[in-house]
């Protein structure tokens, strides 16, 4: 249908001549630009202590290590898949949260595709969506708010990010069945979890690590982050709900309207909610297994002891175990759905095939980090940031620190890696500026989380957009007003916390 529309559209002066490139092209262009940057940005390094942390005041220039477009640029995504390592083979400290590269995330995405394809083949998801949309008739916006709160809680508690990739197909299908569009589904997940991450309260992988390097407790600054969590989540829900209502009233207002029919066929198989299959006992059981797999995933990755819940068994699972979990449940669902041996194999492979493009996007995004690391330019940019705020005080210091963490977050999309490399440098500077160190942790977490809602070097962003078939330029156009509101909320909280340090609130 889309090809027919394009063929029948006359080529005239009013037709746009420029079409924004795909996610693959965007990432490849960024990769080339970063390669070029390694020729012009001076190479430099901080000395590291015994724990691998940069030592303040130890920055020094080193021999330039410019990367080559062909030899290094084309190899970077491959190295990004295998693991982020320096050219001497040592582990990249700046991405210590991703020691095993992108291959674990890419394989997880492929298996999730097979798992979703298997469940879809049984009709359980279609039937469940029909039941939900019928029950929420006239109250669909409550569904948006409820789901965004759930994802925000996941983001603020344990930094829910890569795990959200498992939810896109289901949430997008629910939103389309409710009369919205794929952009709404993507926003519910990416903005919901993103706001939770940027207002991380007890997230041990980001706030916990940063607080440790700053020499303070994770509880320091907790109230300010809770305030931002409530204000930010409220702003996000209002923002997404207003867009969703506009799309439901007039589908042509959708930013992905050209994919409307294609998305309905892909996520709903062309069925409206009234035409969904019967929600019988077998499909109820399959949907129960489907939900159980996600509940186990969420439970298994939460570091219960790190957030003060010592009594709960902690599994410490990560992508290897999670991939095996969904593989096992995919087979179990196929058996319960009576798809047969050939049906199970074919359905699983077809589902994984649908996710292949997402897996490739993840590898490309990780390759950009490899180029920056091997080009030895990350420490130089951190040194420039250190020099920019060193002589400032009070409100100016904390707000400029907040702004400078935005480009640093682009260079180092791993929140734990950004905390590792920057906090030993930035936290002591807060003392000289008369600013509480907890506010520096809050500024770091805010900027890192805010940028990662739109950061093209963050695999979750490009992967999620690829799953929803949302072009990156459309995502930027959609989110920038909300990002500005969130930036202003954080600026206000940081400024008030600096001006009233003895208020015992911030």
pLDDT at 84 over 60: no
Max avg pLDDT among 219-228, 377-386, 474-483: 474-483
Identify the pLDDT of residue 6.
37
pLDDT at 32 over 50: yes
pLDDT at 12 over 60: no
- 47-57 pLDDT, tens digit per residue, is 887 777 777 77
**Lookup result for tokens 């959200």:** 164
Mean pLDDT of the region 246-263 = 88
Identify the pLDDT of residue 501.
65
Q: What would the two tokens of residue 373 be?
A: 């690391």
How far, in Å, are 303, 354, 448 from residue 306 at the CA level?
Answer: 5, 37, 21
pLDDT at 64 over 60: yes
Which residues make Cβ contacts (< 8 Å) with residue 436, sequence separation at least 6?
220, 221, 430, 497, 498, 501, 506
Q: What would the two tokens of residue 52 be?
A: 């691998």
What is 61-89 written as a DSSP string?
E----PPPIIIIITTHHHHHHH--B-TTS
Of residues 278 and 376, more confidently modeled: 376
Identify the pLDDT of residue 186.
93
* Residue positions counted in the chain: 506
pLDDT at 156 over 60: yes
Q: How far apart are CA 377 and CA 106, in angstroms?
A: 27
DSSP 8-state code for residue 178: T
pLDDT at 15 over 60: no
Q: How far apart are CA 310 and CA 445, in angstroms?
A: 25
Identify the pLDDT of residue 276.
58
Question: In DSSP terms, which residues pair with 378 in a beta bridge?
Answer: none
Which residues make Cβ contacts (< 8 Å) with residue 66, sequence separation at least 6?
38, 39, 375
DSSP 8-state code for residue 21: P
Mean pLDDT of the region 279-300 = 84
Identify the pLDDT of residue 29.
84
Q: What would the two tokens of residue 247 be?
A: 């799309």
pLDDT at 307 over 80: no
Mean pLDDT of the region 308-319 = 75
Q: Quick one: how far is CA 276 from the chain centroid?
A: 32
Identify the pLDDT of residue 306.
63
Mean pLDDT of the region 429-446 = 86
What is 337-366 written as a DSSP string?
TT-HHHHHHHHHHHHHHHTHHHHHHHHHHH
Q: How confident is the model at residue 89 (pLDDT cuts 50, 70, 90)?
A: very low
**Residues 211 and 108: beta-carbon distance below 8 Å:** no
Of residues 22 and 176, more confidently modeled: 176
**Residues 280 and 199: beta-carbon distance below 8 Å:** no
For 316-368, strand residue ranges (E) read: none
Mean pLDDT of the chain: 79
Q: What would the two tokens of residue 259 be?
A: 């994919």
Any alpha helices (H) in 46-139, and if so which ranges? 76-82, 103-121, 124-135
**Residues 482 and 236: beta-carbon distance below 8 Å:** yes
Counting beta carbons within 10 angstroms of the beta carbon of residue 100, is it exposed (0 to 12), middle (13 to 18) or buried (19 or more)? middle
pLDDT at 99 over 60: no
Which residues make Cβ contacts (< 8 Å) with residue 16, sequence separation at least 6?
none
Please state which of the ranges 228-232, 283-287, 411-415, 476-480 shows the lowest mean pLDDT: 411-415
Q: How far apart are CA 285 and CA 174, in angstroms?
A: 19
Q: What would the two tokens of residue 126 be?
A: 């279609």
- 466-475 pLDDT, tens digit per residue, is 888 898 889 9
Of residues 123 and 303, more confidently modeled: 123
């Amino acid at each position: 249908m889309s090809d027919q529309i394009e063929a029948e559209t006359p080529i005239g002066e009013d037709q746009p001549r420029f079409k924004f490139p795909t996610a693959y092209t965007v990432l490849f262009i960024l990769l080339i630009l970063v390669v070029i940057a390694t020729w012009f940005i001076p190479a430099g390094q901080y000395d590291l202590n015994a724990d691998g942390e940069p030592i303040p005041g130890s920055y020094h220039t080193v021999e330039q290590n410019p990367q080559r477009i062909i030899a290094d640029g084309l190899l970077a995504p491959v190295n990004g898949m295998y693991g982020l390592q320096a050219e001497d083979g040592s582990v990249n400290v700046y991405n210590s949260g991703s020691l095993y590269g992108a291959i674990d995330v890419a394989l997880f995405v492929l298996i999730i595709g097979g798992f979703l394809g298997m469940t879809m083949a049984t009709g359980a998801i279609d039937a469940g969506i029909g039941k939900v949309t019928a029950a929420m008739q006239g109250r669909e916006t409550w569904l948006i708010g409820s789901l965004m709160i759930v994802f925000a809680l996941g983001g603020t508690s344990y930094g829910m990010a890569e795990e959200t990739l498992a939810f896109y197909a289901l949430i997008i299908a629910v939103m389309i069945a409710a009369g919205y569009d794929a952009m709404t589904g993507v926003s519910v997940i990416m903005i919901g979890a993103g706001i939770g991450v940027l207002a991380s309260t007890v997230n041990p992988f980001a706030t916990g690590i940063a607080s440790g390097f700053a020499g303070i407790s994770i509880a320091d600054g907790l109230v300010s982050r809770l305030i931002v969590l409530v204000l930010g989540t409220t702003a996000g829900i209002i923002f997404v709900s207003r867009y969703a209502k506009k799309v439901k009233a007039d589908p042509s207002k959708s930013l992905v309207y050209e994919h409307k029919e294609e998305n309905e066929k892909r996520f709903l198989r062309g069925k409206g909610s009234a035409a969904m299959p019967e929600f019988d006992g077998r499909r109820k059981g399959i949907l129960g297994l489907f939900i159980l797999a996600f509940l186990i995933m969420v439970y298994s990755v939460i570091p219960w002891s790190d957030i003060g819940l010592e009594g709960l068994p902690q599994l410490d699972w990560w992508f290897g175990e999670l991939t095996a979990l969904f593989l096992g449940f995919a087979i179990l669902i196929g058996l319960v759905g009576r798809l047969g041996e050939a049906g199970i194999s074919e359905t699983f492979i077809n589902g994984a095939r649908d996710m292949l493009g997402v897996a490739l996007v993840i590898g490309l995004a990780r390759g950009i980090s490899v180029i920056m690391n091997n080009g030895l330019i990350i420490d130089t940019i951190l040194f420039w940031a250190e020099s920019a705020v060193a002589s400032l005080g009070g409100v100016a210091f904390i707000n400029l620190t907040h702004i400078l963490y935005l480009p640093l977050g682009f260079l180092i999309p791993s929140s734990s890696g950004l905390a590792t490399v920057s906090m030993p440098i930035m936290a002591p500077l807060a003392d000289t500026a008369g600013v509480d160190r907890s506010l520096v942790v809050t500024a770091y977490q805010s900027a890192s989380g805010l940028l990662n809602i739109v950061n093209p070097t963050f695999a979750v962003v490009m992967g999620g957009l690829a799953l929803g078939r949302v072009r990156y330029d459309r995502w930027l156009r959609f989110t920038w007003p909300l990002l500005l509101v969130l930036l202003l909320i954080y600026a206000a909280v940081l400024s008030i916390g600096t001006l009233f340090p003895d208020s015992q609130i911030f």
